[in-house]
Amino acid sequence: MTGPQKLSPRVRTMWHLSASLVAGPLTIVAVVAGLIGAFEGLAVIVAVAAVVAIVAIAAAILGPRLRYERFRWELTGDGLQISHGVLLRVQSAIPVFRVQQIDVRQGPVERWFGLVTLHIATASSGSDGTLPGIAADRADDLRRELMARVSADDGV
C-alpha cells in the first residue's frame, strides 16, 4: 500500500442513503410549508421553503460525493496520515508511537454495505483518528499492518 488511499466507494452510497433519510423529510416539510404559504399569500414563507428544499436536496446529492472525494489516508513509516473535510479541511498525522489501540467498529448499515470504521486511539485525546468506509475484507489486514508498525516502533 503506497501513496494516499481512498475509502471504499461503497461508503459514498452509504453516505448518500444517510443524507437522503434527513433531506427527504426536510424537503417534504419545506414543500408543505411552501404550499401553505402560497395559499395564504405569504411570499416570504414560500421563498424560505424553496431555499430549504433546494439546500436539502443539494446537500444530499453533493455532500457525500464531495466528502468522499476529499477523504484520503496514507499509512507511512511514521504513522497514519488522514486528510478530509469539504468546508473545513483537516489534516491529521498520527505517529505510531502514540497509537495505543485500534478498534474495528461496524454498525448494521455498515455491515449491510460490507464496510467498517477503524478508530485509532492515541496517548493524546486530540490526535485520535477515525477511518470510515474501509472495506470489511481489508480492515483486518490494515489493522495488523498498523499494529505491526506500532510493535516495531516499541522495540526501538
DSSP characters for 66-116? HHHHH-EEEE-SSEEEEEE-SSS-EEEEEEGGGEEEEEEE--HHHHHHTEE
> pLDDT at position 151, please?
79
Rounded Cα–Cα distance for residues 13 and 19 (Å): 10
What mean pLDDT do residues 31-41 have? 86
Q: Are residues 64 and 81 in the same domain?
A: no
Q: Tell me the per-residue pLDDT of 64-76, one tens digit each, with 9 for 90 and over.
A: 999 999 999 998 8
pTM for this entry? 0.82
Cell numbers found for residue 26:
426536510
Residue 149's pLDDT is 80
Instruction: Quote the CA–CA distance of 48 and 30 in Å, as a whole number.
Output: 8
Average pLDDT over residues 32-45: 86
Res. 125: pLDDT tops 70: no
pLDDT of residue 92 exceeding 70, the answer is: yes
Let me know whether 54 and 81 are in one domain.
Answer: no
10-24, 57-71, 142-156: the lowest-pLDDT one? 142-156
C-beta atoms surrounding 146 within 10 Å: 20
Q: Is residue 83 part of a domain?
A: yes
- Angstrom distance (rounded) from CA 82 to CA 96: 13
Residue for grid cell 468522499 = 68
Distance CA 20, CA 60 (A): 6
Q: Are residues 58 and 85 in the same domain?
A: no
Q: Would you place residue 124 in the very low, low, confident or very high pLDDT band (cuts 50, 70, 90)?
A: confident
What percentage of residues in the chain have a pLDDT greater than 90? Answer: 46
In a domain, 2, yes or no: no
**Residues 88 and 67: beta-carbon distance below 8 Å:** no
Cell 508511537 sits on residue: 97
Confidence of residue 110 (pLDDT cuts 50, 70, 90): very high
In the chain, the number of structural domains is 2
Q: Which of 24, 45, 68 is the last residue of a domain?
A: 68
Of 20, 45, 68, which closes a domain? Answer: 68
CATH number for 130: 2.30.29.30
In a domain, 5, yes or no: no
